[in-house]
Each structure stands twice: as structure tokens, then as C-alpha cells.
């Protein structure tokens, strides 16, 4: 069975759940929906959405996961543009603190965009992030079919004293070697 830490879906869920545990007054999801899907009261506490956008694979053992994080908050019908921006910045600061905390700590924020006070009383930010690196390699089995019998011991030598003619000079390799 594959290790759960090697599963991108599991990693994204852990990020979302980790933020929810650290900031229980916020709502979190991995399911993006258009603004029209929400009532104002749904967004008042702030809703953080984590979306997988791809990977940056240096190699299978050193892969970064790209995520788009959307923070939305409804500030009330009478909120000013500045109050909306301040709510966005407070929410973004919580995300920033989570990214660098011991709770998750391996998320880098690459860029941030905001509503720029244009959509008051709805505030939002978009944070393009990179998480990792992760070892996403599958379990590698170098000997899918092993020998019928295992040797009683392993012997070794160092060059140039190798080969059948030098077998008497070989030494035993034990588990502490």
C-alpha cells in the first residue's frame, strides 16, 4: 500500500485540515465554487479554498506541489473599502503564518493578488504557492523476486585485493559494518 505522504490528494487535505485546526474561526474547503454559490453569512468568518494547480518535479523524490489558495471574506453591507482590505490582509496574514509555522512550514507564497478594494464588501485574495519538496516515488522494489536461499554471510574486500584469487583475504561483513 502506498505511503499516504506520497499521495498528493492526502497532502492537500492535510494542508486544508491543518489550517482549519490552527484557525477554527475560519472555514476551509478544497471545493472551489463561484461567489453565487454562497450566502453572505457563509463568507463572514472567511473561507479558505485550496486548489491543486500542478507540480514542479525536479525528480520523483523531490517534487513541489503548486497550489492556488483563495481567501474570501464578506465584511458586511456597510463596510468601507479600507475595512474590506484590512479584513483581506488579516486573513492573508493567517495564511502566511500557517505557511511558515511548525504546523506545516513547507509552503512558500510565490505571489498574491487581492480585490484591491474594488469589490467591497466582498474581500478576497489569491495566493499562488508552492509546497514541498515531497518524495512522491512509489515503493521501489529492487528485487521483486529474491533468491531462494539467502547466504549465511557476506564477505567483502577492497581493491586491488578482489576476485577469486584473493578470496582468502576477504573479511566478513556484519550488520554493524
Give per-residue burial for 140-153: e unless 16+ CB within 10 Å, then b: eeeeeeeeeeeeee
- My answer on whether omega of the bond before 70 falls inside 30° of 0, hence cis, is no
Residue tagged 464588501 (cell numbers): 121
* Residue 34 confidence (pLDDT) above 60: yes
Whose grid coordinates read 474590506? 84
pLDDT at 57: 83
Q: What pLDDT sits at residue 168?
A: 78
| 47 three-state secondary structure | strand
For residues 157 and 58, give the distance between their C-alpha atoms in angstroms, rounded to a whole number.
36
- Give me 43's grid cell: 463568507
User: Would you state the pLDDT for residue 49?
Assistant: 98
This prediction's pTM: 0.74
Which residues have a Cβ under 8 Å from the Cβ of 70 and sit 6 or more positions away?
A: 32, 48, 49, 51, 124, 125, 126, 127
90: Cβ contacts below 8 Å, ≥ 6 apart: none
Give the per-residue pLDDT at 143.
53
Q: How high is the pLDDT of residue 1?
A: 28
Per-residue pLDDT tens digits for 51-92: 999 999 877 778 999 999 999 999 999 999 999 999 999 999
pLDDT tens digits, 113-161 = 999 999 999 999 999 999 999 888 766 555 556 666 767 777 777 777 7
What was the pLDDT predicted at 2? 42
Of 22-26, 84-88, 100-104, 159-163, give the lowest mean pLDDT range.
159-163
Amino acid at each position: 500500500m502506498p505511503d499516504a505522504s506520497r499521495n498528493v490528494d492526502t497532502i492537500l487535505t492535510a494542508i486544508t485540515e491543518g489550517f482549519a485546526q490552527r484557525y477554527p474561526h475560519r472555514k476551509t474547503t478544497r471545493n472551489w465554487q463561484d461567489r453565487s454559490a454562497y450566502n453572505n453569512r457563509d463568507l463572514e468568518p472567511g473561507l479558505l479554498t485550496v486548489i491543486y494547480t500542478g507540480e514542479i518535479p525536479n525528480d520523483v523524490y523531490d517534487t513541489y506541489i503548486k497550489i492556488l489558495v483563495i481567501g474570501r471574506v464578506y465584511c458586511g453591507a456597510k463596510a468601507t473599502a479600507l475595512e474590506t482590505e484590512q479584513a483581506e490582509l488579516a486573513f492573508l496574514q493567517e495564511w502566511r503564518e500557517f505557511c511558515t509555522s511548525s504546523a506545516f512550514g513547507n509552503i512558500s507564497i510565490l505571489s498574491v493578488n487581492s480585490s484591491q478594494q474594488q469589490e467591497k464588501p466582498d474581500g478576497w485574495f489569491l495566493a499562488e504557492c508552492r509546497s514541498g519538496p515531497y518524495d512522491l516515488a512509489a515503493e521501489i522494489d529492487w528485487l521483486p523476486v529474491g533468491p531462494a536461499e539467502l547466504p549465511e554471510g557476506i564477505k567483502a574486500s577492497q581493491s586491488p585485493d578482489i576476485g577469486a584469487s584473493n578470496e582468502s583475504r576477504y573479511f566478513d561483513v556484519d550488520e554493524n559494518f
